[in-house]
Amino acid sequence: MRKTFRESVAQALENSNLTGALGRFSEAYRVSRAKAYEGLDFEAIRQQIVRIKGSAAERLDELAARFKESAERAGAKVFIARSPREARDRIVQIAKENGVRSVVKSKSMASEEIHLNRALEEAGVSARETDLGEWIIQLAGQRPSHMVMPAIHLTKEEVADIFSKEVEERLSADIPRLVRVAREQLRGKFLAADMGISGANVAVAETGSIVIVTNEGNARLATTLPRIHVALVGFEKLIEKLEDVAPILTALPRSATGQLLTSYVSVITGPTPNTDGTPKDLHIVLLDNRRNDMASDPRFRQALQCIRCASCLNVCPVFRLVGGHVFGKTYTGGIGAILTAWFDALEESDDIQALCIQCGSCKEVCPGGIDIPGLILEIRRRVALEKGQTLVQKAVFSVVNNRRLFHAMLRTAAVAQAPFRKGRFIRHLPLFLADLTEGRSLPAIAPKPFRDLFRSIEQPRGTKEKVAFYGGCLIDFAYPETGAAVVKALNKAGLEVLFPEAQTCCGAPARYSGAYEVAGQNARDNIEALLAEDVKYVVSACPTCTVALKEEWARTLESLGDNASLARAGQLAAKAIDFSTLVKELVDQGRLRLVPGAERPRATYHDSCHLKRTLRAEQAPRQLLGEAGVELTEMFEADVCCGMGGSYSVKLPEISAPMLARKLKSIGDTGAKLVATDCPGCVMQLRGGLDQAGSDVRVRHTAEILAERIA
């Protein structure tokens, strides 16, 4: 990550106005979005959009040609621009040919993409934004920080200062007054403008119509008052039929701002009359700019299903800390990192995509059904192939791929950590390692790893069913007591637990860094180890590891073209299961019985990102804890990432720390003295943060709590 980019991250984190505004909006958005979708089947709507937009993405040029024919039949002039330069030149040409001196613009991210305003100004044409947020940004000399709310990062006091300079009058931070000033300043611009420029939310090939969705009346003024209207529309806005607009209009306001509907929906088919009765000169510029290239890539085609609602930004725990001026370029957030890699260049997204913590919140709410985290991992893979790994990465991954060396080094570290260890924690590290213990303590490496402890566990013999236990690095070398609890619980159900000693790292650190070759070797080694004996289940008490077992090993091997290993990966995936889901099945079958103890502890539960959003198993641990006599109090934003993100907390501790701080506050607000979670990584993050804060709140893995309450 470039030093300048890291400095921009630090500046954003220090901006309390920015983090405060984004944080408050994010919290309110979750509530309003849920309310807006009440009574509707979001998944059904999403699948409709996926079908409509997915089909369109497979034939962009065909739909562009049909749209051109339909729109020109209705009286419009359509130009297909393959590049930003072609689009800019065409719009400037229209302005020059018609003697245009002033332009009013409604909101258009495509115009930001091609840097249209600068081109118009260089041609001697005054271009004025009329969307309130865009106008504020234009006056401030900034770029939008959010695709729907471009000025969300500014306070009303900052807006008052910006307006005061424009009108040369000291204005107070009174919002109604500021809105009146904007109206007074812009109304004359509409009336005097020679040309209006708009974007479009949808372009319908069947009818040649463009659909514009807004909450302000400026778009209608910009498209009706000037004698010339130019619409700049990206190819991804094309759909086939007019009836296909309905599900998009259903989802867009709900997903963008939590509204049931927007104030204005305009459908423009052909030129409308000017005020003097003459027909308006309507031009539509369809912008490609590598959208066809994206459509030709089977992995990235799905990104063209985006409806630009920005819901992925609104739920992103990283975006609400740093904003779009850091997390994005023209397009912001996770989807912005993907679009930047295509519309600009792969290397342009390098720093941006590194901000993604892979929590999956964006994928969960995306109405276009886009696997944003998965596409970001693919960008990382391609960047790694293009640039290669750093020397540090090569050194680390060479160790991880050598199981014996890796485990030997961990055992050595267990001894070497003595000067820094205080009980179960390492609270301070020296010199360049000091940042690792900033805001949280680290777990001390266990003096006896689980693989050694396992040999001393007495298990019932002669059982009919066997289970392979995949421990993962943290349970094996930091939290062996969690592994012991897993074995105890499964033994009580009559299952014999095997712990294949050849198992090693699940490969998540390598995969999330784009080092797929390393992750692929981790996958092969583990598959052979875990399938060496005939077992009914392969269970893991780490959701990240379980996702690797069930999904990511197969994907990694497929991406590497290792078809020979895919069948074995599929066999393993069919047996893989997370601990709580398996225990819930055993309880329901009557093979395990949970007994509440004399003490009914009050606890709160933290959702692991992978358990909740990938495995969809967040209810099983809650139900089990309830049956075990634990009184659960739900914390605020229980499913928001705690900031661990595997190696993310090491690479970007400055972002991980405030995420952890928010989570600790949510925990504290419940008044509970016990936190349960199913992820050892989350245990590490939460325990470390609470220890540094001097809190007496305990954090325990669900397996440990349940093992104490099994009859």
Start-to-end CA span in the chain (Å): 52
Comparison of pLDDT for 636 and 439, the residue scoring more: 636
Count of H-run helices and E-run strands, the chain: 36, 21
Distance in angstroms (rounded) separating the CA atoms of residues 460 and 497: 10
pTM over 0.85: yes
Q: pLDDT tens digit string along 422-472?
A: 888 888 776 556 677 778 899 989 999 999 999 999 998 888 899 999 999
User: Tokens standing for 368?
Assistant: 């276009």
User: Tokens standing for 104?
Assistant: 């009013």
Buried/exposed code over 9-27 (b: 16+ C-beta within 10 A; e: otherwise): beebbebeebbebbbebbe
User: For residue 66, is pLDDT > 70?
Assistant: yes
In the beta sheet, which residues pair with residue 470?
540
Please give the mean pLDDT across all residues of the chain: 94
Beta strands in 178-227 (DSSP E): 195-198, 202-204, 209-214
Query: What's the whole-number mean pLDDT along residues 294-300?
Result: 97
- SS3 for 524-562, per residue? HHHHHHHCCCCCCEEEECCHHHHHHHHHHHHHHHHHCCC
- Residue 431: the pLDDT is 56
User: Tokens standing for 404?
Assistant: 């014996």
Comparison of pLDDT for 390 and 537, the residue scoring more: 537
* Number of residues that make up the chain: 711
User: Tokens standing for 94?
Assistant: 């229209």
- Residue 176: the pLDDT is 93
Q: pLDDT tens digit string along 491-527?
A: 999 999 999 999 999 999 999 999 999 999 999 999 9
User: For residue 595, is pLDDT > 90?
Assistant: yes
Contacts 24+ apart (CB under 8 A), 390-397: 393/513, 393/515, 396/509, 397/510, 397/515, 397/518
207: Cβ–Cβ under 8 A, 6 or more apart, which residues? 70, 74, 242, 269
Q: What percent of the chain is predicted at pLDDT more than 70?
A: 99
Sorted by where each starts, the structural domains of the chain and their CATH numbers stand as: 1-36+310-388 (no CATH), 45-128+194-292 (3.40.50.10420), 443-588 (1.20.1050), 602-707 (3.40.50)
409: Cβ–Cβ under 8 A, 6 or more apart, which residues? 399
Confidence band, pLDDT 50/70/90 cuts, at residue 347: confident
- By DSSP bridging, strand 698-701 and strand 264-268 are unpaired
43-57, 433-447, 557-571: segment of lowest average pLDDT: 433-447
Distance in angstroms (rounded) separating the CA atoms of residues 652 and 575: 35
